[in-house]
Amino acid sequence: MPLSAEEQSAIAEARATPRETLRAVAPGMERHLHSAIPVLDHGFVRVVDYMGDDAAIVQAARVSYGAGTRRARDDSGLIRYLMRHWHSTPFEMCEIKLHVKLPVFVARQWIRHRTANVNEYSARYSILDREFYIPAPEHLAAQSTVNNQGRGALLEGEEAERVLRVLREDSMRAYDDYEAMLSTEGQQGLARELARMNLPMNVYTQWYWKTDLHNLFHFLRLRADPHAQHEIRVYALALCEIIRDWVPAAYSAFEEYRLGSAQVSASGVACLRRMLAGEVVTQADSGMSPGEWREFAAVWGLEG
């Protein structure tokens, strides 16, 4: 169960007692407050609090650029201009605080985004639950032969069953030993801060994670990308749905200029200009390495 009975009770109480406020609220985000979105087999993402909306981005930008911009473009157009030209500070006026439950190995990827405030569940003081991430069969893949960070063909049949069995049995065995070390009959058990080191990377942890919208967009640009690892990408995609409801104009601009865009190098721009002029350009005379050329060709639908 993603949420404990105590957490569900606290959430139900919070949702049953709304408070009056004079601050700006985003109706789409209000629907997400205190509601946990299930992710993976035991994880979730839950909005605890937020500050700001699309109007807060515009307000901050007009402080910088002057009131005259209101006559030049509407709010959505201004937000798109800010995103298109990489003006980041107005997006920092919006903040979000999340409660996330995730496997430890996903948390170690996530924490690399250091532009946030984080407080993680402490296994020094508390005992971790017997909950482990076990991949669904459709996400159980072999190591890629061309990408050291990626997955290749799916494992099937007896090999898939063997791997899943090993993952389950090793996880349970490690937790059994964890419990045994914590509580030794007739003797004082091992300290929690030491016993935890025996647990595998697929055990679940939880944290509160607070960041601003600019840095959240950077997180999503990397982690919602199709090339990101599946286990962190599903969290990013859940967040995308939340952010779309919170700041629809900003998220639309983010989709247009970040998620759905392609970065082109100076060499790539030069090649495109030559191609538009009717010239045939190959990797050999493109000024790009073979790897760069493959990526360039894939984006523009060229023959490798």
The active-site residue, picked from 46, 196, 223, 233, is 223
Q: What secondary structure does DSSP assign to the chain, as a single string?
A: --S-HHHHHHHHHHHHS----SS---HHHHTTBT-EEEETTTEEEEEEEEE--HHHHHHHHHHHH-TTHHHHS-HHHHHHHHHHTT--GGGGG-EEEEEEEEEHHHHHHHTT--SSEEEEPPTTTSPPPS-B----GGG-EEEPSS-TTSEEEEP-HHHHHHHHHHHHHHHHHHHHHHHHHH--TTSPPPPHHHHGGGS-TTBEEEEEEEEEHHHHHHHHHHHSSTTS-HHHHHHHHHHHHHHHHHSHHHHHHHIIIIIT-----HHHHHHHHHHHTT----GGGTT--HHHHHHHHHHHT---
Asked if 112 is an active-site residue, the reply is no
Catalytically annotated residues: 223
